[in-house]
Every structure is written in C-alpha cells, then in structure tokens.
Structure 1
Amino acid sequence: MKFSSKALVAAAGLTALAFTPAYATEGGDQATKPGAFIGSSAGVPPPGIYMFNQVFTYQANLVGPGTVNALGNAPGHKTGVQAAVDVQGFLFVPGWTFLGATYDAVFVQPFVMQSLGTPINVQSSGMFNSYIVPVELSWKLGASGFAVKTGLGIYLADGTDTSPTTLNGPANPYYTFQPELILSYLANGWNLSVAMYDEINTENRVTHYTTGDIFHADFTATKTIGKWTFGPVAYYVGQVTNDSCNAGCIGNTLFHVQRYNEWAVGGLVGYDFGPASLSVWATQEVSANGKNAAAAALGADPSLVAQGATVFATLSYRLWAPEEPAKAPMFHK
C-alpha cells in the first residue's frame, strides 16, 4: 500500500500541547494549547508507526480587569506573554479493531520556553508534562464520509520543576485528564471537523489548589487539491467550572480568574511532499474575557487572560509500516 501523508496530517492524534502562561500559578492555566487539534480529524492513517515534529510561537498580551486591579498597570501599558514550543510525538496504529472502530495510541513530549513581561517578569524553560493517549477509537460511518473518534489523553506530572516546593518551572505539578470527541466529514478532499476536548485537573501537589475544567473546541474546514491543502480554521476555549481551594490550600480562589472565554480565527495551508507532509496554520484571538464573580462582588476582580496570535507548523511522516504479504508468482503454460 502506498502511504499517503495526507492521512497522517488528518489523524486526530497529531496534537501539539503546551502550557499557556498566566499571571499567578493557578486559575486559567491550560495544559493544551488552544487550537492544538486544528487540521486533525477523526480519520486514522494505515497501520504503522508515525512521527510528527511540531513547533509554534504564541505572542500575546494580558487583558481583563486584573491588568489594573492585580497588576496595577496604567492605561495603555501592556504585559506581554510569549511562548515558543517544540513537540516530538509518535502515533501508533497497529491495525487493530474494536467494536468496529480502528484503534490507535499517541505519545507526545513538549519542550517549552515561556515568559511574562513587566511587572511580573517571569521566565522559564524546560520539559513540559508528557502527554499519552493509550486508547483512541475511530469509526467510519459507512460510505457517507462521516467519521467519529473518541479517546482519553493524560498529562503526566513529570515535567521540569525548579524546586519541589515552588512553582517556577514550566510544567504543571498535577495530572490532567483530557477526554476527546472528534466529528468529521472526510470526502472529496474535504476535512470538515470539530474536535472537542475537556481538561480535568487533579490537585496541585505543591499548593493543593485545583484548577477548574477547561473546555476546548477546534474547527477545521479545509480542502485538498492535488498536493495542496488550505482553508479557514478557528478555536474556542473557556473555563467551565470554578477552581477549588480546600483547607490547607496555599492560595485563594478570589485571587484568580474563575471563568473565561476566548475565540480565535485564522487559516491553514499544507503541502504533501510524499514521504512527509507539512502544514502551517495561524490564528488571531479576536475575543478574550475573564471574570471572578465572587471577587467582583467585593470590588476588585483580578481576572487576567492572554489574547494574541499563534503560528503553528507540523511536519509528519511514517517511520515504519508492516510489509505487504508477498504475492504468489504467476505461472503460464
């Protein structure tokens, strides 16, 4: 079977994952970079072991009532947020089926450089939490072109820590569970997909603070013509449950954003080189807002969210594939 790298780009397992810096160490922290599933789908490539290399940069500023209430910024002053991320990942497709679905598994290791500007002035770099998806199942719905994929990803609390008692490292000192659901239409060169996934966090092992659930929806509407793929993309991310801070917790939910919403729009272009494929997408966050209702009732909402632009590139290729069975020779009298 000839390998098509377009199928790999379409695989939903190809995700880049990164922590978006936020003021303070709790509240609003995201394990997955919003838009990480852009360009993916509910499809699965042929059996084999695949690798993908991803890089992206995120350039933003903090916005929200906390720019004045928490940071004390004067009107017009901007606190910058920057991140540069490199991701190495593997997609395993053994050719197994279960309940009519195709099985695959994913391992991703991100490396992060990130910073926050004045008046915070914090920088960090190192290995972010490893991300594993032990099970993804993809169903093709007949010959309709529609497909459904579901799975469960897990961020391990194994990233770089500068100290076991501080939070200055680039990684999150807690686990994050990420169930996913991807719906796609894949026919006639189209990839019309929405990927929905939710971050469910465990308690921070240092502060015992627990960040609320964060919901993502990534949208792809691309068309492939020949070797080229292009089309509009978008994403939404928002915190849908409040943080919690029990007895003995270091911190206070009044000091952090409890609910926020961000929308971004952009475009994707990709090219299939045959042995490998490259795709690049860029987005601009056009809306970002955050609030802490309890703190606002006391007169000083500290909520902060980042609003900015992302440029993201993925190179994907197959490392290994099972050999096709040899065909019996033809004999003629």
Structure 2
Amino acid sequence: MRRFSARISARITASVTARITTALAAVLAAGPALAGSAAQPGQTIGLPTGAQLPVGLYFVNLSSFGVRETAPLSSESNVNLPTLALSTPWTVLGARLHLFFTQPVAASSVRGAPYQSGIGQQLLAGQLAWDLGGDVGVSYLFGGYLPIDTRFLTQEASLSHRFAVSYTGQGYNLTANLLYGTFLSERSPFGVLYPDYLNLDITATKKFGKWEIGPVAFGSLDLPVNVAGYRRQGQIAVGALVGYNFGPVTLQGYVTRDVVERTYGGAETRGWLRAIVPLYQDKGEAEPDRALVTRRQAE
C-alpha cells in the first residue's frame, strides 16, 4: 500500500512539475516583459506647447480613464497628472524659461484582475519657448522622471526631450509635440525591459468665443533594442476635443480611440479631462480669452 501511494505521489509531482515547466516555457517564449513610455501618450494634446505662457504660476490636472479590449477580459486604467507650471520672466537664448513639476497617480486592472493603484514617477523639467512672430512659437523641454518602487508602473529613471511647434493665431491651436524618452537602465531589477520611445501629440482646434473644438491625434512607438524576442509596442489614436473657458478656469475634454495598435493586446478607448487654474498671472500679459497653455505631462 505504501509503495502504491508513493507511486501515485511521484506521478502527481511529476505532472505538476511538467505543467509548471510548460507554463514557464510559454511565458519565456512570449518574449521579455515590456514597459510603456514614461510619458503617457496623448497627455499634451490640447496644449499649445510650442507657445510662451504668460508670466505666472499655474495648476493643471489631466485625468484620463481608458479601456483596452484585451482577451479574455478588458484592461482598465486611470491616470492623473497634477502639474505645477511656472512661467518665469527670465529669458535664456531669447526664449522664455518655464519650469514644471508633475506627480502622477495611477490605478489599473489588467484583464479583469483586481485594481492596483500607486504613485507614479515625478517629472522635473525646464522648457525654453521662443516667440518667432506671426503667432508661431517653438519650444524645447528637457526633464527627468525619477525612479520609484511602484511595481505595476514604470520604475526606472529616464530623460525626456520634447520639441514642439505651435500656431495660435486667429483662435487656432495647431500644435505638434514630439516626445523622445531615453531610459538610464534598459532593465529593472525584476527583468522588465525599458525601450526608449517616441510619442507625437497633435492638436488642431479652433475657438468660437469661449468654446474650443477640433480633432486631435497621438502616436507612440518603442525604439529598437538588441534583445531576442523583443516585440515593439506602438499605437495611433484619433479623437476630438471640446473646451470651455469659464474665466479664470479652463476645462478641456477629449476622447481618443486606437485605429492602429501593435503588441498592446487590443485597441483602447480613452476619455480625458483637463482643468487649468491660474494661481497667479501677470495681468499685463494674460489675454482674457486665451485658454491657458500648459505643457503637461506625466509624464
């Protein structure tokens, strides 16, 4: 009887071991774990990021909720990007100096799993914005995302370069903002791969009195890395934005939907809401009907 029990136990152990080995092999065959860009794709939509801000201090919060059509259950995420933006009276190389601080807070549920939430990577950044005349402005932002220990979010430190051009004449906001991110380490201590990335946020809105409306779009792309089994992520999303200037406070809402996606597991639909609140503003520079431009991020 003891021999029979020992044989059954051995067979069960061998079966369980084989299943675990098979599962691990399947995970490894699927390629390395990937992390997305440190800067949330689409986060600067609606902002004339190439233009100069009126001198002042601004609070900007962008909150978004997205549902991605993954199988067998959908994946959900909420990202909040509260930002302090300081537009200084100082100039560097003929450009106005802007300073930014962003503290992201995020929550997510992957394929129906219980929600996880935590604090994301802080962004510290400075921006130079040039007024070229004719309502055209260009800017360059340089900043860094600080490392964190929140496991389900990007953890590794990275540098962010952002190049923007804006036309803000006749009530238009025609802006393209290219974000280039480079990670200081290619992998986290837990084996997550961090490829460098490019994001492009595009805005084409028009103001009608206090209202603002127009199409928007964004794209994101992982840059190549020399890692076997690496599968690059990428997406293109389009949507529409509506904004309203309540006076000191401006609200913007937009909805985007993936029309192209690669290695994300399914298309995403995301709703966004931004509030722009001037905490202090140089009244000599501020325009009453100008929806504040803040560059944000978070990042």
TM range (shorter): 0.7 to 0.9
Change (3 A) 1:306 1:96: farther
Cα deviation for residue 220 of structure 1 reads 0.4
Aligned partner of 1:88 among 69, 77, 82: 82
Aligned partner of 1:109 among 103, 113, 127: 103
Q: Size of the alignment, in residue pairs?
A: 253
Residue aligning to 1:48: 56
Alignment-mate amino acid for residue 219 of structure 1? I
Residue aligning to 2:278: 318
Q: Distance in 2 between matches of 1:171 and 1:87?
A: 14
CA RMSD of aligned residues (A): 2.2
Alignment-mate amino acid for residue 124 of structure 1? Q
Cα deviation for residue 234 of structure 1 reads 0.6
Residue correspondence of structure 1 range 194-233 to structure 2 within 5 A? 194-203=176-185, 204-207=187-190, 210-233=193-216
Work out whether 1:137 is the aligned partner of 2:128: yes
Residue aligning to 1:287: 260
Cα deviation for residue 25 of structure 1 reads 7.9
Contact 1:152 1:177 in 2 (8 A): yes
Q: Scaled by the length of structure 1, what TM-score is found?
A: 0.71
Residue aligning to 2:269: 309
Alignment-mate amino acid for residue 94 of structure 1? T
Q: Distance in 2 between matches of 1:124 and 1:317?
A: 29
Secondary structure of the equivalent of 1:315? Answer: strand
Alignment-mate amino acid for residue 284 of structure 1? R
Cα deviation for residue 209 of structure 1 reads 5.3
Q: Distance in 2 between matches of 1:85 and 1:107?
A: 16
Alignment-mate amino acid for residue 187 of structure 1? G
Structure 1 unmatched ranges of 5 or more: 1-22, 63-76, 162-168, 245-252, 291-303, 325-333
Alignment-mate amino acid for residue 242 of structure 1? V
Alignment-mate amino acid for residue 101 of structure 1? A
Aligned partner of 2:245 among 266, 269, 272: 272
Structure 2 unmatched ranges of 5 or more: 1-29, 285-299
Deviates more, 1:233-242 or 1:25-34: 25-34
Contact 1:201 1:210 in 2 (8 A): no
Cα deviation for residue 273 of structure 1 reads 0.6
Residue correspondence of structure 1 range 9-88 to structure 2 within 5 A? 26-41=33-48, 42-62=50-70, 77-88=71-82
Aligned partner of 1:153 among 143, 158, 161: 143
Alignment-mate amino acid for residue 64 of structure 2? F
Secondary structure of the equivalent of 1:198? Answer: strand
Deviates more, 1:121-130 or 1:259-268: 121-130
Residue aligning to 1:191: 173
Q: Distance in 1 between matches of 2:158 and 2:194?
A: 10
Q: Scaled by the length of structure 2, what TM-score is found?
A: 0.78
Change (3 A) 1:25 1:228: farther
Higher relative contact order (CA 8 A, sep 6+): 2
Secondary structure of the equivalent of 1:188? Answer: helix
Q: Distance in 1 between matches of 2:31 and 2:123?
A: 23
Q: Distance in 2 between matches of 1:320 and 1:243?
A: 48
Max Rg structure:
2
Aligned partner of 1:179 among 157, 161, 166: 161
Q: Distance in 2 between matches of 1:243 and 1:149?
A: 32
Residue aligning to 2:19: none
More helix by share: 2
Q: Distance in 1 between matches of 2:57 and 2:32?
A: 37
